[in-house]
């Protein structure tokens, strides 16, 4: 394989060069904040899109298409003349030479910066059991969502053609590990699929026989929310047919099921072909590289401790923002990401204008929302607690407002109408490659 090394050279009359790693919430909002600044902005990402992660579960369960929640970054920034976009996975950051090395297929690119914003986000954490990932994919990327869509709809298909009545229940069992917002949303949507969308579609199985199990090591669902909302959410999940298993730890995941241990040290085995991992988060491995260079230890989630203005200790020209940043216990949520991205960009602009004293990042908490099923969501906005239909209407409004791109909002609204007014799912298509069907007796996954 031939590797081409190209260096983006510094040039005397070139404006201040800002490189942003990551086109997620933090990276994109940082780039946009710099639209009118006297800088050149280069956004490097391993994907070609900006992903609206909070709606990934709707792609996985056939409500939305991937394009609706992941517009091309290049398209989003097309009118921002000072911004360019580079496809590539960042493999190295040289803080001394002030360069970022990225790779796309056989091309290696070294890009120089004057200021760097690192916003590479986080992936799933299997708490030291990465082998679980094969059979229990996480939900962090478009690839994950499409893989899960194939597995979920594929499991109903396999149940339909399964001749052995003993083997059929495992195809109709879905285990979601992790009862935070993502787990709860996935469980709610699979329950709606089984009980509503697929109700009349099969001839040999009744999709409503499906078991949807939500398991968590903690004592309640939605632990980030107020306890009352947790209980409301749990009650609603049970009403729509989700089994909730709390205070249980996952000890094994394989092709045909999952092993658990309860708080009384009792071992349990659940036969389930489809598993979803929504339990843990681990910041990008680029964090370790930066923490090493700055001589600071990573926190438990692999996040990089930063100075109050989001810059790296001893490196005022480098900022770490969003899910990679460890600052005052701020949670890994979209609002923290976009506000910290904007803040870092503002710091760069302010410095270029002659400002010297760093301005600390102040987070404006806008609250939390989780949608469980059609017409039911919980919302926590400061002291205000909202649930049920009112929560769901608020959820609808907020998500529509925050989606990137007018075209996406229109088509998303249409698909929501299909799903929420009717019971259909417009996006059930999977490719043969995405329909990952585990082959009995083979521990590997068979693709197509």
| Strands 376-381 and 368-373, bridge-based pairing | antiparallel
Question: Measured from the CB of residue 168, what is the shortest distance to ligand FAD in angstroms?
Answer: 30
- Work out the burial of residue 327: count CB atoms within 10 Å of its CB; fewer than 13 is exposed, 13-18 middle, 19 or more buried: buried
DSSP state of 48: S
State whether residue 77 is helix, strand or coil: coil
Cα separation of 187 and 190, whole Å?
5
Residue 35 CA to its chain's centroid (Å): 26
Question: Measured from the CB of residue 45, what is the shortest distance to ligand FAD in angstroms?
Answer: 4
Interface with ligand FAD, residue 21, by CB under 6 A = yes
- Alpha helices, H only, 72-217: 73-76, 142-161, 168-171, 181-192
Question: Measured from the CB of residue 185, what is the shortest distance to ligand FAD in angstroms?
Answer: 7
Answer for which of 40, 42, 53, 173 binds ligand FAD (CB under 6 A) is 53
Residue indicated by tokens 């903690």: 218
Mask 330-359, x = binds ligand FAD (CB under 6 A)? --xxxx-x----------------------
Residue indicated by tokens 């979601």: 176
- Tell me the number of residues near ligand FAD by CB under 6 A: 34
Give, to the nearest 10 degrees, the angle between helix 406-420 and helix 388-402. 150
Alpha-carbon distances of 317 from 43, 90, 282, 298, 348, rounded to whole Å: 16, 18, 25, 20, 8
Residue 185 annotated to the active site: yes
β partners of residue 43: 20, 85
Cα separation of 84 and 18, whole Å?
11
Interface with ligand FAD, residue 46, by CB under 6 A = yes
Q: State in Å, rounded, how far the first CA of the chain is from the last one.
A: 27
State whether residue 85 is helix, strand or coil: strand
Question: Measured from the CB of residue 21, what is the shortest distance to ligand FAD in angstroms?
Answer: 6
By C-beta, is 61 or 205 nearer to ligand FAD?
61
Answer for which of 89, 220, 315, 423 binds ligand FAD (CB under 6 A) is 89
Mask 309-328, x = binds ligand FAD (CB under 6 A)? -------------xx-----
List % helix, strand, coil for the chain (3-state, nearest 5): 35, 25, 40
Sole window of 22-30, 155-163, 250-258, 296-304 interacting with ligand FAD (rule: CB under 6 A): 22-30
Question: Measured from the CB of residue 358, what is the shortest distance to ligand FAD in angstroms?
Answer: 21
By C-beta, is 159 or 369 nearer to ligand FAD?
369
Phi, psi (rounded to 5 degrees) for 273: -75, -30
Question: Measured from the CB of residue 360, what is the shortest distance to ligand FAD in angstroms?
Answer: 19
Answer for which of 19, 44, 172, 260 binds ligand FAD (CB under 6 A) is 44
Cα separation of 42 and 40, whole Å?
7
Mask 259-298, x = binds ligand FAD (CB under 6 A)? -------------------------x-x------------
Question: Measured from the CB of residue 116, what is the shortest distance to ligand FAD in angstroms?
Answer: 13
Interface with ligand FAD, residue 215, by CB under 6 A = no
| Strands 242-245 and 173-177, bridge-based pairing | unpaired
State whether residue 257 is helix, strand or coil: strand
Sole window of 49-57, 127-135, 373-381, 416-424 interacting with ligand FAD (rule: CB under 6 A): 49-57
Contact 164, 171 (CB under 8 A): no
Answer for which of 8, 19, 56, 436 binds ligand FAD (CB under 6 A) is 56
For residues 100-129, which are near ligand FAD according to CB under 6 A? 119-121
Catalytic residue among 68, 147, 162, 185: 185
State whether residue 253 is helix, strand or coil: strand
Mask 150-189, x = binds ligand FAD (CB under 6 A)? -------------------------------xx-------
Phi, psi (rounded to 5 degrees) for 264: -90, 20
Sole window of 39-47, 343-351, 401-409, 416-424 interacting with ligand FAD (rule: CB under 6 A): 39-47
Catalytic residues: 185
Residues that bind ligand FAD (CB under 6 A): 21-27, 44-47, 51, 53-54, 56-57, 89-90, 119-121, 139-140, 181-182, 284, 286, 322-323, 332-335, 337
């Amino acid at each position: 394989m031939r590797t081409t090394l190209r260096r983006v050279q510094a040039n005397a009359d070139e404006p201040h060069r800002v490189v942003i790693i990551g086109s997620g919430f933090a990276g994109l909002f940082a780039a946009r904040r710099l639209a009118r600044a006297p800088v050149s902005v280069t956004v490097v990402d391993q994907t070609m899109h900006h992903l609206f992660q909070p709606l990934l579960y709707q792609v996985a369960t056939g409500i939305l298409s991937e394009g609706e929640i992941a517009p091309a970054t290049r398209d989003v920034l097309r009118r921002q003349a000072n911004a360019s976009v580079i496809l590539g996975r960042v493999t190295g950051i040289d803080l001394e030479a002030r360069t970022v090395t990225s790779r796309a297929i056989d091309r290696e690119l070294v890009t120089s910066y004057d200021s760097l914003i690192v916003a590479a986000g986080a992936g799933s954490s299997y708490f030291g059991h990465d082998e679980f990932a094969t059979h229990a994919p996480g939900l962090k990327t478009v690839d994950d969502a499409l893989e899960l869509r194939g597995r979920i709809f594929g499991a109903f298909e396999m149940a339909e053609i399964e001749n052995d009545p003993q083997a059929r229940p495992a195809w109709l069992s879905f285990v979601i590990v992790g009862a935070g917002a993502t787990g709860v949303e996935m469980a709610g949507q699979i329950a709606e699929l089984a009980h509503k969308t697929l109700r009349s579609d099969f001839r040999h199985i009744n999709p409503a026989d499906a078991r949807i199990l939500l398991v968590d090591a903690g004592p309640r669902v939605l632990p980030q929310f107020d306890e009352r909302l947790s209980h409301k959410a749990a009650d609603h999940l049970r009403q729509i047919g989700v089994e909730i298993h709390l205070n249980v730890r996952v000890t094994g995941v394989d092709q045909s099921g999952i092993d658990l241990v309860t708080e009384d040290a009792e071992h349990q085995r659940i036969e389930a072909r489809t598993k979803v991992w929504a339990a843990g988060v681990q910041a990008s491995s680029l964090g370790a590289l930066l923490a090493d260079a700055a001589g600071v230890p990573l926190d438990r989630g692999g996040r990089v401790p930063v100075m109050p203005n989001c810059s790296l200790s001893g490196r005022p020209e480098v900022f770490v923002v969003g899910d990679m940043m460890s600052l005052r216990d701020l949670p890994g949520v979209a609002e923290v990401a976009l506000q910290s991205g904007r803040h870092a960009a503002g710091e760069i602009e302010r410095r270029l204008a002659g400002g010297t004293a760093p301005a600390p990042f102040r987070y404006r908490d806008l609250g939390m929302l989780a949608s469980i099923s059609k017409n039911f969501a919980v919302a926590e906005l400061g002291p205000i607690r909202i649930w049920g239909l009112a929560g769901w209407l608020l959820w609808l409004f907020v998500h529509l407002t925050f989606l990137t791109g007018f075209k996406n909002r229109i088509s998303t609204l249409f698909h929501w109408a299909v799903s929420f007014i009717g019971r259909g799912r417009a996006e059930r298509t999977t490719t043969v490659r995405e329909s990952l069907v585990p082959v009995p007796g083979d521990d590997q996954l068979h693709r197509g």
